[in-house]
Amino acid sequence: MRTSVIVAVFMVFIVFSVSCGGDSGQATAESPREEVSSDSTVLEEPVVPDEAEHQQETGEITSVNAGPEGSWDTTMGKMDLSVDGSGHVTGEYPLGTIEGTLTGNVLEFTYSEASLSGNGSFTFENEFNSFTGIEDVSGTELVWNGSRI
């Protein structure tokens, strides 16, 4: 009788061990193990934030510039440009202001600096990340270049 009790306990241990995963709960490099309860929920697709949320969270800029608005490092100092819905551009830089019209990637403008004023133009390149241009100062053309900050 004692042998049959030992055999019965051994059989219960084997059945219990197999139904519970077969080991003492320790995962090894040879036998990785992931326990899943019966009330676990499986997601069909991972949740991915949209581009705007990603930019807000990370500060990364991933889109292409659509126009000249923003801050520029130029041969005349830092310049900030704004564009309204009709393509009218205004800007400020250390020596004065500009005002003009954007057609495609070309900005035709007038500038005002203390006692000086005149005309100029910028041609934007590299998806509005840089420009080359000139301004007319009393009949002399000065080169004016810039890159986006």
Q: Provide the domain count of the chain.
A: 1
Nearest to 74 by CA among 1, 21, 142: 142
Q: For residue 49, tell me if it sits in a domain.
A: no
**β-pairing, 70-74 with 140-148?**
antiparallel
3-class state of residue 17 by DSSP:
helix
Q: For residue 110, tell me if it sits in a domain.
A: yes
Predicted pLDDT at 58:
53
Tell me the residue type at 137. Answer: V
Q: For residue 47, tell me if it sits in a domain.
A: no
Q: For residue 86, tell me if it sits in a domain.
A: yes
| Residues with pLDDT less than 70, the chain | 1-64
Q: For residue 141, tell me if it sits in a domain.
A: yes
Percentage of the chain exceeding pLDDT 70 = 57
Q: For residue 76, tell me if it sits in a domain.
A: yes
Predicted pLDDT at 5:
46
Q: For residue 101, tell me if it sits in a domain.
A: yes
Give the tokens for residue 48: 């991915």
What are the tens digits of pLDDT across the range 26-53?
Answer: 544 454 555 555 565 555 554 545 544 5
- Threshold 0.85, pTM exceeds: no
How long, in residues, is the chain?
A: 149
Give the tokens for residue 111: 């500038």
Q: 74: which strand partners?
A: 77, 146
Check residue 20 and report its DSSP letter: T
When the pLDDT of each residue in the chain is averaged and rounded to a whole number, the result is: 76
Give the domain extent around 111. Answer: 70-148
Question: How far is 74 from 147, CA to CA, in rounded Å?
Answer: 7
Identify whether the C-beta of residue 135 lies closer than 8 Å to the C-beta of residue 96.
no
Q: For residue 121, tell me if it sits in a domain.
A: yes
